[in-house]
Amino acid sequence: MPTAMICYDGDGHITDLMHSLSSLDGWDIHPQNVQVYNLNNIHNDFRDFDLHFLVFTSNLNSKSLHELKIIRNNNPWTYIIYYNSLLVNQQFLKLSELGVNSCIVGVDRKKNLIKYLDKLWLHHWKRIPEKIYANSTDIKTPRAKKIIKYLENRPVIECTTGKISEYLNISKSHFRSEFKSQFGTNFREFKQRLFNHYESELLLSNKYKPSDICKILNYKYIANYSRSFKTRHGECWRNLNNSPK
């Protein structure tokens, strides 16, 4: 399921906003009051829940801008939306400089936020397109759907044979056998295909820096990422057109 955190400053509007967001079917929403919830705890939530989206509703000041900067630097893969009733040009420019992805303001902001989040998740880089299942034979089984849901919603570091078999409450050997039967390939080959897709989405479509992609895909060093990328794509990421340097 898509996961989002709503950061607010106790202004009394969160109850109404959360009620509206309840219309998002299957979403996991975590409201956090930044006045009582320190930044370290927010970072822990990013790690524990693998947050896909952050909706920041607090009024802008030096403290909130500093928090946004730290959150963006530590979580480059999370889509950040600033949500408030009003935003002046100077604030918009500052948010843009900090790497905030989108701003939603105005009287229809609740309705627009719901529509936008739904659209963003539909095209999120962690969504696994059907082309990845090209050789699948029984992708519609409850077990196969559960595996796909796990891969889409957990950090890459947790997408291992051991972690997934534990999640499914079966042995590793049972998982390997069942995965190959349902997906038409072994898990290792499927994961390589999936990484190929992730890299294309992150580097070419979303224009993430390779240093950020290393964090997202759990590479320890950029040299390791470069070698792995070349193996899958046949050339270095630096040679691809329009890739960030």
Task: Report the pLDDT averaged over residues 205-217.
Answer: 80
Residue 244 has a pLDDT of 44
Is 244 contained in some domain? no
Averaged pLDDT, 205-214: 80
Residue 74 inside a domain? The answer is yes
Residues 221 and 142 in one domain: yes
To which residue do tokens 């627009």 refer?
Answer: 112
185 with 221, same domain: the answer is: yes
Within this chain, do residues 134 and 168 fall inside the same structural domain, yes or no? yes
Q: Read off the pLDDT band of 132 (50, 70, 90).
A: confident
Same-domain check for residues 180 and 196: yes
Backbone angles phi, psi at 102, to 5 degrees: -150, 160
Task: Give residue 240's pLDDT.
Answer: 64
Domain holding 23: CATH number?
A: 3.40.50.2300
Residue 185 per-residue DSSP state: S
Residues 139 and 213 in one domain: yes
The 10s digit of each residue's pLDDT in 159-194 is: 999 999 999 999 999 999 999 988 888 999 999 889
CATH number reported for the structural domain that contains residue 138 in this entry: 1.10.10.60
Using the predicted structure, report yes or no on whether residue 245 has a pLDDT greater than 50: no
| DSSP calls for 55-112 | EE-SPPSHHHHHHHHHHHHH-TTSEEEEEES---HHHHHHHHHHT--EEEESTTHHHH
Tell me if 94 is assigned to some domain: yes
Are 203 and 219 in a shared domain? yes
Q: Mean pLDDT, to the nearest integer, of 19-46?
A: 79
42 & 78 share domain: yes
Q: Are residues 106 and 55 part of one domain? A: yes
Residues 10 and 33: their CA atoms lie apart, in Å, by 6
Q: How far is CA 136 from CA 145, 172, 182, in A?
A: 12, 20, 6
Number of domains, the chain:
2
What pLDDT was estimated at residue 157? Answer: 85
Last residue of a domain, one of 122, 145, 180: 122
Asked if residue 155 is part of any domain, the answer here is yes
Q: In this structure, are 19 and 118 located in the same domain?
A: yes
pLDDT band at 39 (very low <50, low <70, confident <90, very high): low
Q: Is residue 245 part of a domain?
A: no
Cβ neighbours of residue 11 closer than 8 Å, sequence gap 6 or more: 57, 59
CA distance 186 to 161: 11
- Picking from 42, 40, 38, 39, the residue whose alpha carbon sits closest to that of residue 30 is 42
In angstroms, how far apart are the furthest CA atoms of the chain?
58
In this prediction, residue 37 carries a pLDDT of 66
Does 43 share its domain with 115? yes
**What is the crossing angle of helices 187-199 and 172-183, to 10°?**
70
Say yes or no: 180 and 225 in one domain: yes
**Which residue range(s) make up the domain with 82?**
3-122
Burial of 188 (0-12, 13-18, 19+ CB in 10 A): exposed
Separation of alpha carbons 185 and 181, rounded Å: 8
Q: 34 near 8, Cβ under 8 Å?
A: yes
The answer to the question of residue 134 being in a domain is yes
CA 198, 220, 188: angle at the middle one, nearest 5?
50
Cβ atoms 60, 91 nearer than 8 A:
yes
Same domain, residue pair 135 and 206? yes
Structural domain contains residue 65 = yes
Among residues 80, 95, 122, which one ends one of the domains? 122
Q: Is residue 71 part of a domain?
A: yes
Q: Which of 122, 139, 163 is the last residue of a domain?
A: 122
